[in-house]
Structure 1
Amino acid sequence: MAISPSALVLRGSGGTVLRHETDGALTLRRGDEEHRIPLQAVRGVLPDGRSVSVQLRAPGGAQPVVHRVDGVSEAAVEAFAEAVNLALLELPEPDPSTDGATLVTTRNLAESQPPKQPLLKSWAFWLTAPVLTLLLAQSVAVVVAGEPALLVLIWILGVIGWVLTAVSAYTAERAFMMWWLPRHGVTVMAEFAFRIPSTRVYEYTDLNGETHRYRKQYGGSRAEVSYHPRKPATVIGNFSVVARLWVALLALLLCGATLGLFGLLCVIAFTA
């Protein structure tokens, strides 16, 4: 059986990406825009050293639209142009009046993808920095109090506290999503795709045509899921009210235990 080659991807200067998809179409990502160019819209791909140009079809006498990507390796350019031009030969003879530019669709990636969070806004920073600051302050306090032996206890409890904080934060976020996404997200039916040990994998398609996966331990041929409208990979299953209440209660208990542990650390450090 013949094995299809992997999809060809050209990465040019300025973060430009030109991809030959497995369905034959070309996708060009430049900045915050992605252009999907069906093969029927392409007249030809022209290699030019470390640059490549995708020329669209144009009706007689009209100036064709050209998409150019620079800063690519010559070998990649040659392979890409050869693959696309060979695919074009397999298409039926196009209508001479075809305007390829009208067949191109464009979507704004800034609207369909969440913005990248800088370090100071990331959950890891806000989770680690306060814990580390508290442990350092407590360490200084016990040393100044003349009880350096308590340092080992403080740091052991501190590490346990950090893990407990991470688990609490994850559980609290999970509890919030179990209530928020079914009401404010996009709810769809995910289709069963395949099974791995003890896990069933389902697939769903978002409003932009991207496919994502959802995993659960058991279920039928379909599963109702709700995903975030701006972050489609963030998904939650359909849970009963009782299950959601249990997770919310667990989140409260974990947060209470975390606060209690750090309260104990403060008592140890500042009463030493």
Structure 2
Amino acid sequence: MAPHPCQSVQDQLSAYLDGELGTAERHQIEEHLSQCPACDAEWQSFRQLGQLFRESVPAETPPPWESVESRMLPRRLPAGPWWWSTTTAAAAAIAALLLVAVGFWASAPKNQRDRIAQPSEAGQDEETSMAGMAMNAEHMLEFQRTMNDYVAKLSSDPDQAERFLLTKYDGQAVSPDQAEALVGYQPLISRGLPGGYELASSSVVEMPCCTCFKAVCRRSDGSTLVLFEHDDDAAGWFGDRNRSMATCGDKDCCLIELDSNIAATWKEGSRSITAVGARDQGEVTMLVNALKRS
């Protein structure tokens, strides 16, 4: 299938959730979601929000007979997605609860924030579930702001960008061989980088998504490219920047537009590789081919 534009898929997520699409359209979207980490993350967030509203509709008490009788006449249902039928009071209560949850999370000490953001044990009530969702969303927004700051610094002062990220997420400078004990796998670049690149530094970083191996690479002209090897799909790392799917070598890659270059994410075995600061799709293709597992 030809790469499906990410924006087109995301525009149809509401209709997809409501079962309003035909079989062919659903198949196209499902195939795209299976190949695009960014759109899949958008879909998961969309689906969770829908579940939140579905679980939050208040149960109605049995109405008096007069009310039942009056309802026996046919009436038109409101058009649009199912969540539009949620009562104004329920929507207001949900919004207030989410705002309180975010405010509470932001004001709590970091160690308490981390505990709060974790899913609670079985039996939690709906209010706790909604609060946890709001806190996780706020955590992701903070991570996206951090990555945007990192990208901005990387283009002007790569050394400052690295200090910023290592300080923010308790990074530890290690060699690729030393990293294996910390991340549980041998980083792909331990076999060497392609010609025209040299390893400037490497580290293990405790990022919110997972524990990542990070390699700062220098091109022969002195410019910088950063490679992250990680367990998650890097979906949402760069917020709402423009993105598209492309075929790079034999991999489906998600390309994200940065200010003066691009980032790219692709799967390699059970993990993902994210290149930040790539010049174009051609360079990404070269990296995909060079970093393949043997």
Asked if Structure 1 and Structure 2 have the same fold, meaning a TM-score greater than 0.5 normalized by the shorter chain, the answer is no
TM range (shorter): under 0.3
Q: Which structure has more strand as a fraction of its residues?
A: 1
Q: Rg: which structure is higher? A: 1
Q: Which structure has more helix as a fraction of its residues?
A: 2
Q: Given the two structures, how large is their TM-score scaled by the length of structure 1?
A: 0.25
